């Protein structure tokens, strides 16, 4: 229907004559209805357009909100990644500082050893100088006596001169024989000592060791703080199920985005760490999934244990070990003595024992076998009683090891009498691996406490004025009051302090005790 204008109506009205109402009324009514229809359609179209515009605006608003949320999540993920990167950098810096601290301690010990060697050399030079002075005085006295005797020789006959010369030569020869015997013994002892040092130094230089990291606790990083609540679960059922399945204690405290796995059994701790890492990555944390992942972790750790034992045996090229012994060796991978890994220590001891055996002409393979197995008792389950040396010896004896290896393992802490030289080799190699610089370095707090206890023990003795622990605790120097303490009493204080250190303190290697008593008298002339 088309829209009729006012001009068209007027023209139509002018042309229609005479005026016919029957014709015009329907026309006007049709025009009005058409106008109303057009107006209604226009208004409907406008309302539909407004509604579509509102819908488009709402869709745009929702898309903008979704985009903003995605950008927010992306920004949070970047922040978390940066924070994790900063934490890793901080841990790396902390490890580097610990390594540098160990290097400083090693340098201190080296300087202390050089200081001790210089003192020994100075004492030797002083003794030699004193011996030279004494020999010079003796020569002067001898020349005087010879001159006097020559003056009286002219008055003696040939028989008397021969008799006196025989007696003098006999006395001089006896003295020379004693001196020669003493020099020969000292030379032999020094040669043996030098040969032993050469063998030990050559053996230690052939062993390439890696530094050990400090062992504190097993810390597991969490992606978000909300993960702690999921680990705990409703009414703590998840954490209870986890602790029951793994046998460890899971500590959830105020530390941000981390939990602590605590257990005296390192194998259980490793199983718990592996299972919890897998649960966090999977995201489904409930009692059923916990049991499933713990079982997988146990199988994985068992495979790693067997593989570690086989790798150690292959590295040392040892044949004929029982599979149960190899599996037990692998468990040493998760055990530490102080901060020294027991499996690495066992491999290092085996290498040292083998090299020393080669140097002294013994069977290196037998020494290597005994060195590898000497600490296997530390991996035997805890229900057995006794020291790890005796338990380990009984275990390998049960699986067909030779009596020489069994005795070397049982006697490496001298709880059992060594029956062969191979037991002595294992004792020596075990000691070298344990006390070498950096092998079992203690924490800074423990180091300071040990030095403090050493100085406090020295100060508790009557007459001691000052005490200084030096050379990383390898020497204690004590200054006594010269008015209260005599020289004899100072010697007794040194012995007393040595006895008390041996009975009351635990310390690596040896501690040298030096007691200083000094009196100074000063006057000023004006």
Instruction: Tell me which of 89-93, 112-116, 254-258 is least confident.
Output: 254-258
Give the pLDDT score at 209. 46
Model's pTM, two decimal places?
0.47
> Is it the case that residue 320 has pLDDT exceeding 80?
yes
Show the beta-strand stretches assigned E in 258-338: 258-262, 336-337
Average of per-residue pLDDT across 359-370: 87
Give the pLDDT score at 262. 79
| CB of 502 closer than 8 Å to CB of 509 | no
Give the pLDDT score at 519. 76
Higher pLDDT, 171 or 466: 466
- What confidence category does residue 211 fall into, taking pLDDT thresholds of 50, 70 and 90? very low
Token pair of 510 as six digits: 């040896």
Higher pLDDT, 180 or 479: 479
- What confidence category does residue 191 fall into, taking pLDDT thresholds of 50, 70 and 90? low
Instruction: Tell me which of 261-265, 316-320, 326-330, 420-424 is least confident.
Output: 261-265
Give the pLDDT score at 172. 66
Give the pLDDT score at 185. 64
Token pair of 365 as six digits: 């393979």
- Give the Cα separation of 203 and 227 in Å (integer): 51
**Tens digits of per-residue pLDDT, 241-263?**
888 888 888 888 777 778 888 77
Burial class (CB in 10 A: 0-12, 13-18, 19+), 434: middle
Give the pLDDT score at 333. 84
> Is it the case that residue 205 has pLDDT exceeding 50?
no
> Is it the case that residue 460 has pLDDT exceeding 50?
yes
**Taking all residues of the chain, what is their mean pLDDT, rounded to a whole number?**
79
Q: What is the CATH number of domain 218-435?
A: 1.10.3210
> Is it the case that residue 30 has pLDDT exceeding 60?
yes
CB atoms within 10 A of CB 248: 24
Give the pLDDT score at 515. 92
Higher pLDDT, 265 or 41: 41
Is the CATH number 3.30.70.1350 carried by domain 444-516? yes
343 CB-near residues (< 8 Å, 6+ apart): 308, 312, 329, 330, 332, 333, 335
**Tens digits of per-residue pLDDT, 468-497?**
988 767 789 999 988 888 888 888 999 999
Give the pLDDT score at 152. 63
- What confidence category does residue 151 fall into, taking pLDDT thresholds of 50, 70 and 90? low
**HEC string of 34-60?**
HHHHHHHHHHHHHHHHHHHHHHHHHHH
For every residue of 173-226, DSSP letters joined together read: HHHHHHHHHHHHHHHHHHHHHHHHHHHHHHHHHT----PPPPP--EEEE-S-TH
339 CB-near residues (< 8 Å, 6+ apart): 212, 213, 214, 215, 440, 441, 442
* Domain locations in the chain as residue ranges: 6-108, 218-435, 444-516
| CB of 286 closer than 8 Å to CB of 231 | no
- Give the Cα separation of 139 and 178 in Å (integer): 19
> Is it the case that residue 199 has pLDDT exceeding 80?
no
């Amino acid at each position: 229907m088309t829209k009729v204008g006012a001009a068209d109506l007027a023209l139509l009205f002018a042309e229609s004559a005479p005026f016919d109402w029957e014709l015009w009324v329907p026309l006007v009514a049709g025009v009005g209805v058409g106008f109303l229809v057009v107006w209604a359609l226009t208004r409907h179209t406008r309302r539909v357009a407004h509604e579509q515009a509102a819908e488009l605006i709402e869709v745009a608003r929702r898309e903008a909100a979704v985009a903003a949320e995605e950008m927010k999540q992306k920004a949070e993920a970047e922040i978390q990644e940066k924070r994790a990167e900063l934490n890793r950098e901080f841990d790396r810096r902390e490890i580097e500082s610990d390594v540098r601290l160990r290097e400083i301690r090693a340098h201190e010990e080296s300087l202390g050893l050089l200081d001790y060697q210089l003192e020994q050399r100075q004492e030797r030079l002083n003794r030699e100088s004193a011996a030279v002075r004494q020999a010079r005085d003796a020569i002067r006295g001898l020349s005087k006596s010879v001159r006097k005797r020559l003056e009286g020789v002219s008055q003696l006959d040939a028989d008397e001169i021969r008799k006196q010369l025989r007696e003098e030569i006999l006395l001089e020869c006896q003295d020379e024989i004693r001196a020669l015997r003493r020099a020969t013994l000292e030379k032999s002892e020094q040669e043996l000592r030098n040969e032993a040092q050469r063998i030990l130094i050559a053996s230690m230089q052939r062993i390439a060791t890696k530094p050990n990291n400090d062992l504190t606790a097993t810390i597991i990083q969490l992606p978000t703080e909300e993960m702690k609540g999921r680990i705990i679960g409703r009414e703590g059922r998840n954490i209870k199920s986890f602790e029951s399945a793994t046998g460890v204690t899971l500590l959830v405290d105020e530390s941000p985005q981390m939990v602590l796995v605590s257990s005296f059994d390192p194998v259980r701790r490793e199983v718990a760490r592996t299972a919890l890492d897998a649960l966090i990555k999977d995201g489904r944390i409930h009692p059923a999934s916990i049991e499933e992942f713990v079982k997988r972790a146990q199988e994985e750790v068992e495979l790693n244990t067997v593989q570690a034992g086989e790798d150690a045996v292959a590295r040392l090229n040892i044949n004929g070990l029982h599979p149960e012994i190899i599996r037990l060796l692998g468990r040493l991978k998760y055990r530490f003595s102080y901060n020294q890994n027991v499996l690495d220590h066992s491999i290092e001891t085996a290498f040292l024992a083998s090299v020393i055996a080669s140097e002294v002409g013994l069977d290196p393979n037998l020494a290597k076998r005994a060195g590898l197995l000497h600490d296997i008792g530390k991996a035997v389950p805890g229900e057995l009683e006794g020291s790890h040396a005796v338990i380990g010896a009984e275990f390998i004896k049960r699986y067909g090891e030779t009596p020489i290896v069994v005795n070397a393992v049982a006697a490496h802490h001298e709880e059992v009498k060594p029956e062969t030289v191979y037991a002595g080799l294992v004792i020596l190699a075990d000691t070298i691996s344990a006390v070498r610089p950096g092998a079992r370095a203690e924490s800074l707090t423990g180091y300071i406490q040990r030095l403090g206890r050493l100085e406090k023990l020295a100060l508790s003795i009557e007459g001691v004025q000052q005490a200084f622990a030096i050379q990383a605790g390898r020497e204690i120097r004590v200054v006594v009051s010269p008015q209260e303490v005599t020289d004899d009493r100072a010697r007794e204080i040194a012995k007393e302090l040595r006895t008390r250190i041996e009975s009351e303190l635990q310390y690596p290697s040896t501690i040298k005790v030096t007691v200083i008593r000094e009196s100074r008298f000063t006057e000023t002339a004006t």
